Amino acid sequence: MGVRVRQKVKGKGNPWWVFISHNGKRTSRKVGDKKSAEAVASTIRAKLQLGEFGFDDPKPAPTFKEQAKLWLSLPHDWKESTRVNYLSNLNNHILPVFGSTPVNEIKRKDFKLFFDKLLSEGVAPNTVALIRAPISGVLTHALDSEQIENNPLTGLKLIHKKTALDIEPLSKEEVVLLLESAQQHENGAYYPPILLALRTGMRVGEIKALKWKDLDFENRLIEVKRSCRQGRVTKPKNGKGRKVDMSRQLAGVLRELKHKQWKKHAGKEVPQWVFENTRGGMLRHNGLRDALLSCLNKAGLRNIRIHDLRHTYATIRLLSGHNIGDVSYQLGHSSIKITYDTYGHWLPGKFKSEVDELDNLHPTAPYPHPNPDISKNVMLIQQLS
């Protein structure tokens, strides 16, 4: 026989529960505050001793698949790309393993073994974290719906070796070679979007979804309002828009592009997308990727991804001593910590001259002797003199 009192979710203001386990049967009651729950627990213990406490026939818990389907059907403040990723991870990784199991029968060790298996098979830790996200959402909903007594994922840590982010930025010299190659490739058709990526650090989806009305040539600003992922136009990655600066060179190139499009359409209204494909629609990801690879090859440079143009923008600015807060904002990171975590290993040792400026605060302070033994001798001589 067991009667326990606790909160399902710890925290001030959350309700207290009484959990009863007796002769292989279990049930629970939500009571309210802790004092009331302990009083109810005492009464139930007495009734169990007298055989007067009756268990209601429990309804079978839904399977994980049923709980996931209900959770997905609820309104969520998600980007469409987030919903697509959740569905993909559920269908490809999670439901084949846990889908038919009642949600209250899946134990903590089951999830631990599941995640460990993914990591041992070479699945990247970041990918495992993405797979874990919808599981956590389903279990939280099951806990709130009183289908489970506790969330087995709470506090579950995945031990894995941290790996450096896959970043392949170009140097300043390589950027020059790439841009010169892009000016020659297909009469410079892909030069503007490549230049834009290198001068603003915008994501490829943001570049594709850029409209002419988003450009303010007078103030040399670009308002990033939307992104395109898997053919769907959505909000930017962190759900917030931002304004990024246009360099003079970039502004000039985009002005010229706008004039060319105006002439191409016989003086009619310029189309909405800044970068068109051959049919007048939005720039195709594969087209930009293939053009970039061709330009890199002709310039004698190694192959990189389109996203590495964004990394190139960030690393060149940071290595040039630019303010990391501004770089973080221009990139559209939700916090400066993300910028530090992503690019911090590029910074150590690059700004010794700035560190040396701190010496100006106390210019008369003596420099310590480089030889520690000699330094000790000097101190002893000073004490004896």
pLDDT tens for each residue of 142-173: 988 878 878 899 888 876 555 556 678 999 99
φ, ψ at 69 (rounded to 5°):
-60, -40
Largest pairwise CA distance in the chain: 93
DSSP-H helix ranges across 320-371: 324-331, 336-343, 352-356
| pLDDT of res. 364 | 62
Residue with tokens 């802790």: 34
How buried is 197 (Cβ within 10 angstroms: 0-12 exposed, 13-18 middle, 19+ buried)?
buried
On the question of pLDDT at 384 being above 70, the answer is no
Q: Mean pLDDT score of the chain, rounded to an integer? A: 83
| pLDDT of res. 149 | 79
On the question of pLDDT at 41 being above 60, the answer is yes
> Using one digit for the tens of pLDDT, what is the confidence trace for 83-137?
889 999 999 999 999 999 999 899 999 999 999 999 888 888 888 999 999 999 9
Collapsing DSSP to helix, strand or coil, 208 comes out as: helix
* The residue count for the chain: 385
Residue with tokens 């210019």: 363
On the question of pLDDT at 369 being above 80, the answer is no
Q: Which residue, among 190, 222, 140, 137, has the nearest Cα to 306 in the 3D structure?
A: 190
> Using one digit for the tens of pLDDT, what is the confidence trace for 310-339?
999 999 998 888 888 999 999 999 888 888
| pLDDT of res. 208 | 94
| pLDDT of res. 381 | 36
Residues 286 and 242: their CA atoms lie apart, in Å, by 26
Q: What average pLDDT does this structure show over 53-64?
A: 73
Torsion, Cα 117 119 120 121, to 10 degrees, reads 90
Q: Which residue, among 38, 49, 52, 36, has the nearest Cα to 1 in the 3D structure?
A: 49
How buried is 331 (Cβ within 10 angstroms: 0-12 exposed, 13-18 middle, 19+ buried)?
buried
pTM over 0.75? The answer is: no
User: How many CB atoms sit inside 10 A of residue 24's CB?
Assistant: 6
Residue with more model confidence, 360 or 6:
6
Q: Which residue, among 54, 82, 89, has the nearest Cα to 68 in the 3D structure?
A: 89
Instruction: Tell me the DSSP string of 69-120.
Output: HHHHHS-----HHHHHHHHHHIIIIIHHHHTTSBGGG--HHHHHHHHHHHHH
Collapsing DSSP to helix, strand or coil, 383 comes out as: helix
> Using one digit for the tens of pLDDT, what is the confidence trace for 190-234?
999 999 999 999 999 999 999 999 999 999 999 999 998 877 888
The residue ranges of DSSP E strands in the chain, in sequence order, are: 2-7, 16-22, 25-32, 215-216, 221-224, 227-229, 232-234, 242-245
| pLDDT of res. 385 | 40
On the question of pLDDT at 374 being above 60, the answer is no
Collapsing DSSP to helix, strand or coil, 362 comes out as: coil
Highest-pLDDT range among 40-49, 224-233, 245-254, 320-329: 245-254
Q: How far is CA 184 from the centre of its chain?
A: 36
55-59, 122-126, 151-155, 251-255, range with the lowest pLDDT: 55-59
On the question of pLDDT at 267 being above 80, the answer is no
On the question of pLDDT at 291 being above 70, the answer is yes
Q: How large a percentage of the chain has pLDDT more than 70?
A: 83
Helix (H) or strand (E) holding 200: helix 191-200
On the question of pLDDT at 346 being above 50, the answer is yes
φ, ψ at 100 (rounded to 5°):
-90, 0
Q: How large a percentage of the chain has pLDDT more than 90?
A: 46
| pLDDT of res. 358 | 66
The 3-state DSSP composition of the chain as helix, strand, coil percent (nearest 5) reads 55, 10, 35
DSSP conformation class of 369? P
